[in-house]
Amino acid sequence: MTRILSVGTWNPPYQVKQKDVMAFARELFRQDFDQIDRLLRVFQNGEIEERYFSQPLSWFRQSHSFEEKNQLYKQLAVEASVQAIERCLGNPAYLNEKIPPDLIHAIIFISSTGLSTPSIEVTVMNRLAFHPHTKRMPLWGLGCAGGTAGLSRADDYCQAYPTHAVLVVSVELCSLTFQIGDKSKSNLVGTSLFADGAACVLVCGDESPLLKRSRMPFLPRVLAQDSVLMPNSEDVMGWDIRNDGLFVIFAKSIPAIVGFWLKPVLERFLNTYKMSVTELQYFIAHPGGRKVLEAYRDALNLHGKILEDATEILRKYGNMSSPTVLFVLDRVMKKEKRQGEKGMAVSLGPGFSAELLLMEWGLGT
């Protein structure tokens, strides 16, 4: 079975308080909405206290071209990837010995907040001296679903090559997509939620020699995974790509969709493996927002503490899109475990789609 061996995370240097972003949004949107203070409750009720941006808040008061923002994205995405990879391959919380990059067989690079060809991992491989025969699998357009999808694709690869090791690298610089001229409610909601971050996860086949470098008594093993598309739902979430860049599409129906669509999807998935949600010790949810977490809890009858890790990541980091679920995974993996405990990673993204990954903690080697 595929094992998850280590995680590394990164955030940019500009930590912003939610109250300061709310004041910025009031200044920006007050001429466009009659009831601006009522709409700004989304900042107060979102259970986000602070986030990280790639630029100081003053930078967002000016208009910036798509070219300028994308050039900044490419530069910062390389730096974020390098930092996350180095922290993953040398994380003393997970590893008893650092792992050199040239022992990695494949990189799955995930991002949806900027454009680059060659893709970002090419520059990263040159910076960190990866083996030139390292397989590259860049994934674009998965949005918030990308973190769990990356783990699933790494599982596919490691099942085919059980001696190999894969890095799942997820980088999103959501703040750089901000459109100062977009006065839509979607942009207002996005301004209240989105942030910047990166994560790297080391995934190994069950015959990988790197498993001997683990210092964890138990590692999560992938039991099953699935991808599910909701038909004819392209307008629920995504980007509207225009001359000025990426404009957010964020339907207010998303929490309701979690309630009526995701519950049977999850139940069918678990029933296939003769399990139910009540048998999960960990629910590693992408915290898209407070209402989405509440929809998970209500639709699936989850007990209060099982969402505490996702809630805490949302509170401290906001919604970083695809890396966010990997931040939750990092927090869960550092907890003391017992053999046989089970968890599920769940992310929702454009399509509208769900990515599901079932795992069980077992002996590391």
> What tens digit of pLDDT does each residue of 166-210 get?
999 999 999 999 888 877 777 878 888 899 999 999 999 999 999
> Average of pLDDT values for 254-276?
87
Q: Is residue 95 over pLDDT 80?
A: yes
Q: Is residue 157 over pLDDT 90?
A: yes
- Structure confidence by residue, pLDDT tens digits, 14-48: 999 999 988 888 887 777 677 777 777 778 777 89
Report the amino acid identity of residue 121: E
Q: Comparing 71-80, 86-95, 289-298, 335-344, which segment has the lowest mean pLDDT?
A: 289-298
**pLDDT score of 364:** 67
174 is catalytic: no
Count of CB atoms situated within 10 Å of the CB of 234: 12
**pLDDT score of 79:** 97
Instruction: Enumerate residues 6+ apart whose C-beta is below 8 A from 140.
Output: 110, 111, 112, 115
**pLDDT score of 190:** 83
**pLDDT score of 365:** 65
- Structure confidence by residue, pLDDT tens digits, 133-156: 999 999 999 999 999 999 999 999
Ordered alpha helix ranges (H), 12-112 = 18-29, 36-39, 41-44, 66-89
- With residue 16 as reference, give the H or E element that holds it: strand 14-17
- Of the pLDDT bands very low, low, confident and very high (cuts 50, 70, 90), residue 256 is confident
Q: How many residues does the chain have?
A: 365
Given the DSSP bridges, would you call strands 282-285 and 245-250 parallel, antiparallel or unpaired?
unpaired
Instruction: Enumerate residues 6+ apart whose C-beta is below 8 A from 151.
Output: 4, 168, 201, 203, 222, 225, 345, 357
pTM over 0.75: yes
What span, in angstroms and rounded, lies between the C-alpha atoms of 22 and 182?
A: 16
Q: Pick one of 3.40.47.10, 3.40.50.300, 3.30.420.40, 3.20.20.70 as the CATH number of 3-213.
A: 3.40.47.10
- Structure confidence by residue, pLDDT tens digits, 325-336: 999 999 999 998
What span, in angstroms and rounded, lies between the C-alpha atoms of 290 and 307?
A: 11
CA nearest 142: which of 284, 364, 355? 355
> Average of pLDDT values for 215-241?
91
Given the DSSP bridges, would you call strands 165-173 and 106-111 parallel, antiparallel or unpaired?
parallel
Q: Which two tokens stand for residue 144?
A: 């918030």
CA nearest 212: which of 102, 97, 103, 101? 97
What span, in angstroms and rounded, lies between the C-alpha atoms of 60 and 195?
A: 13
Q: Comparing 63-72, 88-97, 165-174, 288-297, which segment has the lowest mean pLDDT?
A: 288-297
CATH superfamily, domain 218-363, is Thiolase/Chalcone synthase (3.40.47.10)
Name the segment(s) of the chain with CATH classification 3.40.47.10: 3-213, 218-363
- Structure confidence by residue, pLDDT tens digits, 43-88: 877 789 999 999 999 999 889 999 999 999 999 999 999 999 999 9
- Of the pLDDT bands very low, low, confident and very high (cuts 50, 70, 90), residue 363 is confident
> Average of pLDDT values for 5-19?
96
- Which one from 88, 144, 200, 204 is the annotated catalytic residue? 144
**pLDDT score of 179:** 85
Angle between helices 263-272 and 290-300 (to 10 degrees): 50
**pLDDT score of 244:** 86
